[in-house]
Amino acid sequence: MVNVLPEFVTRYPNLAEARLGAKVVSATDDFFAPKERLISRTDPVFIPDKYDDHGKWMDGWESRRKRTPGHDHCVVKLAKPGRLHGVEIDTRHFTGNYPPAASLEACYSLDGCPAVDVAWIEVLPQEELQGDRQHFFDIGNNQVWTHIRLHIYPDGGVARLRVYGEIEVDWTSKQGALIDLAALEWGGMPLGCNDAHFGVPMNIITPGVAENMGDGWETRRRRTPGHDWAVFALAHPGVLEQVRIETTHFKGNYPDRFSLQAINAGAGTDENLLIQAVDWPLLLPEQKLSADGIHEFSDKLENLGPVSHVRLNIYPDGGIARMRLMGRVTD
């Protein structure tokens, strides 16, 4: 099993996540396990004694044993058009039934299911796979894609496919619009935090309400002076008008207070931004929070003009389910 995750896993969202809007649109065969499970958000599980009408129940996509020439493939419509940086092909729990190799193609199509004559471009050449393992591969292509096609050779089962990349948005049509500028589905991204022991910052900018405490950002119990923080790059610079912090499910472990700092940053590395963030101007001074609730703030926001990055401070520690930063898109 992989212990150290590649940077693209923690840096970019999974564009093949159903919660963001991704869909499996076709597969050559999914006799043993339906193609839709391929993009499930949760980690795959194995239930030893579970069977269905087709045989052993498996948590993933699995085709039947191929008795004719060729190989199987599956097409996924990405949640948003994006530039791909890496892919995870996960064969966990598939041991005697995993494909020995796989490759990946991508295309740009406005159709939900690409036409038969669409141009597919190889973005990951055929790579060897092993059973019961997570495989991570870099993708060097910088074009914008809407669909990916996973080829497996010749057949078998894959538990999960995750495609990490940057969301591409036509911002010219969004000028002046009021949107959640921190939202993952628009391209907002976490740049880093000081602690994510129980849950990562990316969770709090995902769509929908939190399913449970594990679906938020939560730090460990602080035993030293100070407080915890996380820094986010907004999807696009804008003037923030409303802040919403949700502590849903966090009852005995919500932060006592929070504050926001913000800046309109120019060019700079993520590392430099994380260092500089401690000195950014206050967008919202410390505000009290309560357990398992929704907290909205608008009239207390400082007028900083357009901002591109935000630092969320929580005092002294704890968990937050969601953060929404509503703002007007600027040039």
The per-residue pLDDT string of the chain (331 residues; one tens digit each, 9 = 90 and over) reads 446 889 999 889 999 999 999 999 999 999 999 999 999 999 999 999 999 999 999 999 999 999 999 999 999 999 999 999 999 999 999 999 999 999 999 999 998 999 999 999 999 999 999 999 999 999 988 899 999 999 999 999 999 999 999 999 999 889 888 999 999 999 999 999 999 999 999 999 999 999 999 999 999 999 999 999 999 999 999 999 999 999 999 999 999 999 999 999 976 678 899 999 999 999 999 999 999 999 999 999 999 999 999 999 999 999 999 999 999 999 7
pLDDT value of residue 206 = 95
pLDDT value of residue 268 = 66
pLDDT value of residue 183 = 97
Residue pair 7/85 in contact (Cβ under 8 Å)? The answer is no
| CATH 2.60.120.260 residue spans of the chain | 7-167, 171-329
pLDDT value of residue 1 = 45
Residue 25 CA to residue 35 CA, distance in Å, equals 9
pLDDT value of residue 95 = 97
Question: 7-167: which CATH number, 3.10.20.70, 3.20.20.30, 3.90.600.10, 2.60.120.260?
Answer: 2.60.120.260
C-alpha to C-alpha distances, 113 to 35, 77, 306, nearest whole angstrom: 14, 7, 38
pLDDT value of residue 269 = 78
Handedness of CA 128, 132, 138, 141 (dihedral sign): positive
> Taking the domain 171-329, which CATH number applies?
2.60.120.260
Q: Of 125, 328, 119, which is closest to residue 240 (Cα–Cα)?
A: 328
pLDDT value of residue 2 = 46
